[in-house]
A and B are shown apart, each in its own frame.
Chain A
């Protein structure tokens, strides 16, 4: 077996052939360490990796690297998210070195939501590099030991490199090619947008399989349990790039009173069961939005426990 690219726990789990199960933690809109520790608790032992979001929805939050360090102290494996919106290549590379120095071994490279969505709509969007280029830059830092500008790095950061994919947005035919671009840029793992339209997702994965992409990259399927009919409608109509078929809404509407969230979790578990068997899928990324305390229950019911020790 080839050498590991990083010290990432996720890399070891995937390389050993386990079905990965990852989660998410949004840092607070303040400097409370306790807040991060509290949110970390239900995730510990139940997921292999935790995405620490970076000024999510263009709202200022505790920096992703700082919250990543706190999560690590709590025994979690952080996935340091970095968006292209807020930093230029100098800041990005500096932060990557710093994060790696503090023991962070995973990074997720994202474009970021537009400033207009957040509470600082007048901010200047940086977008010096885009998400595909960021992936390439981190790979170059790791594998060639050089900065983007070409100079050598003393002790290169050995990051396990992640990216995102939205299999649903138009033009659908292009989505798999965009994945291919990220693979060529050097991405190691992909976490997809929340999946609700299973039919479209199956098609996308089949295309990725046909193109041989799933042999080069680990794809973790994005799952979000719906808490309510309102949430499903909001995601369908308001969240850019989200594809929520009417059947999902109907199914939630059909649930008994007080049992809608239960139905949401049931749908999520059914999806996870299918992903476990799906060719080309290496795991699930669970985005339980502001529902961290439910993660143990969902993990239990999705039969992904206990998590492998590697």
Chain B
């Protein structure tokens, strides 16, 4: 899932200076799971906002809404009827959701309520770890299911580097060395031959905005673009 962190209150408050009617929209998917931008967090932000503005003598009217997935136009459409009543929208979704919302309501200021941080896993409640940088050319099949691009601090493809500290990464003792782990996992599966040969220079595919059309959906896309 996508993991995000709530932005500091002061930053959001600054972004909202001058707007008196604010719609805060949570997202029910990733950001809700990671406790950054779901229903509860949207309501909490509104409370903080109203209190701060009241104290400052500039009261604000807020409303909280919740959308199944802000990265889906179909669900965003549910907001069409109420958006006009507000001066600004705070989207608590990931950066993709914020942008899709801004695209749907191009005349409204749409502001981010969270910092989108990484694609990761839920290690335990409230504890998330980064696992993938969406490089577009997944190497997990040869690296024992451990991502060298994300989990190695130097994104080495032919590691480990000379800084490996016992089993830790040179950057700090608490960070396991990805290549040590890759070696151990492959050794345990008798698959070390996977990494005996040099991994060739990467063909980075994440330098331009990417679009994917799954097989069978090309015509649908073409029809959509013609509209």
Partners in one complex: yes
Q: A residues engaging B (CB < 8 A)?
A: 84-85, 89, 111-114, 116-117, 125, 127-133, 136-137, 148, 164-166, 169-171, 174, 177-178, 180-181, 184-185, 193, 240-241
Separation of A240 and B177 alpha carbons in the complex (Å): 12
Q: Which residue of A lies closest to B204 (CB)?
A: A128
7 CB contacts below 8 A, A to B, read: A116-B153, A130-B156, A136-B201, A166-B164, A171-B184, A174-B160, A174-B183
Partner of A130, one of B158, B187, B196, B204: B158
Is there contact, CB below 8 Å, between A133 and B171? no
Q: Which residue of B lies closest to A135 (CB)?
A: B198
Is there contact, CB below 8 Å, between B154 and A111? yes
Is B180 engaged at the interface, CB distance under 8 Å to the other chain? yes
Is there contact, CB below 8 Å, between B165 and A133? no
Separation of A133 and B159 alpha carbons in the complex (Å): 11
Is B110 engaged at the interface, CB distance under 8 Å to the other chain? no
Q: B residues engaging A (CB < 8 A)?
A: 153-167, 170-171, 177, 180, 183-184, 187, 192, 196-202, 204
Is there contact, CB below 8 Å, between A241 and B201? no
Partner of B154, one of A84, A166, A178: A84
For the A-B complex, the count of residue pairs with Cβ-Cβ distances under 8 Å equals 97
Is there contact, CB below 8 Å, between A133 and B163? no
Beyond known contacts A137-B201, A165-B162, A178-B158: 19 more, CB 8 A cutoff: A111-B154, A113-B170, A114-B163, A129-B201, A130-B154, A130-B156, A130-B157, A131-B161, A132-B157, A133-B200, A166-B162, A166-B163, A166-B164, A170-B167, A171-B183, A174-B183, A184-B197, A184-B198, A241-B163
Chain B nearest CB, measured from A207 CB (Å): 14
Q: CB-CB < 8 A to A130: which residues of B? A: 154-159
Is there contact, CB below 8 Å, between A132 and B158? yes
Q: CB-CB < 8 A to A113: which residues of B? A: 163, 170
Q: CB-CB < 8 A to B160: which residues of A? A: 169, 171, 174, 178
Q: Which residue of A lies closest to B153 (CB)?
A: A114
